[in-house]
A and B are shown apart, each in its own frame.
Chain A
Amino acid sequence: MKRPFLMAAGCALLLAPAPSPAHGLAHAVTAGRAVVVTLTYDDGSPFSFESCEVTPPAADKPSQVGRTDRLGRVVFLPDRPGDWRVRVVSEDGHGADLTVPVDAALLPAGGPVAGPSRFAKLVTGVSVLFGIFGLVALVITRRRP
């Protein structure tokens, strides 16, 4: 009596469609040319382990989300030319929303880009501030002899 029942149960188990949690996953290791966006604070310290997302040209949703690496880098391999959007944000409100133009060769258009140095910012900012206050002083002294 038991054998036919056990055989039927075994067949049912074999035939029943069941979701499997462990599909095989192939992998391949290749070399590729990536776009590297490096983010640092003004003092040069890296913008490490902060949230980032990369959105392809004319796309609504990011193609890559994650965190910057230890050196504050976002690395992505563009698959089409155009303006890629790189957004990085820290919990305390630091961050940037950048547009990275990628050319037909899938490389950053125009080559490496770097912002002004801290010293250049300092000299420019102080000069402009004194210039503006000087203009205000000129206006005030003209109006009030």
Chain B
Amino acid sequence: MHVPDGFLGPQTYLPAYGVAGVMWAAGLRRLRARLDAATLPRLAVVTAAAFVLMMITVPLPGGTTVHVAGIGMLAVLFGVWNAFLSLSLVFLLQALLFGDGGVTALPVNALAMGLVGSLAAVGAYGLLRRWSRDAALFAAGWAGTVAAALVMAGVLGLQPLLSHAPDGSPLFFPFGWKTTLPAVVLPHLAVGVADGALALLAGRFLAPRTAPAPPGRGPEAP
């Protein structure tokens, strides 16, 4: 799901940098105000785990490969803003050090997976936690992955409409929504199951022994 350079036009990535810049600034302000030295090592370890898990790819029938992203795991354990910043940091390193995901696509990757994915994860957790905490944790992992895939498919499929040559040929990503929605979202319905299991395990064994935090906050105080 890491979109590389050359797939998104400036009509997409320039506004995305504006939105992501505002969100990064807001997230860093919250981080400075709320993050404590006790939570930081846990956040570092789980962020590193998400980075490692993203590198474990599983081939699917049809030739593509998928990987878990740990969106739900980070969002449930640390809240939307910390998850957004942590995943943004991972995407930045992947783009700058290894060329996995583009620098121009960084804000879209960060907003889709880091922000929308985390919001969906925390939203699903908040909806279901009174019924069953385990089901809520699993749903958080699944929803975070699927929501991020939906946004990514939408942004990719928009490119032929936004940027094309006078003869109609696309200048950036060439496939429209009819192609991107099934191609991106369907595999991630399955990946979401793995991300759901990951969020469930993380929520049961890595969360501090306190009541789950309200949606959007995360258990930042152990």
Contact = CB atoms under 8 A, between A and B. Distances in A.
Contacts of B3: 93
**Residues of B in contact with A, size category:** 35 or more
Interface stretch (A1-9, A14-22, A94-102): A94-102
Contacts of A49: 63
A126 to B, nearest CB: 5
Given A42-B57, A90-B64, A97-B5, A124 B97 contact: yes
Interface in B47-67: 47-48, 51-52, 55, 57, 59, 63-65
A13 B57 CA distance: 65
B48 A129 contact: yes
Contacts of A140: 35-37, 40
Contact of A129 (B35, B51, B64, B180): B51
Interface in B134-164: 152-153, 156
Contact of A42 (B47, B55, B153): B55
Given A93-B3, A129-B89, A122 B55 contact: yes
Contact of A133 (B40, B152, B183): B40
Most buried by B among A87, A116, A121: A121
Nearest to B186: A92
A38 interface: no
Interface of B: 1, 3-7, 35-37, 40-41, 43-44, 47-48, 51-52, 55, 57, 59, 63-65, 89-90, 93-94, 97-100, 152-153, 156, 173-175, 179-180, 183-184, 187
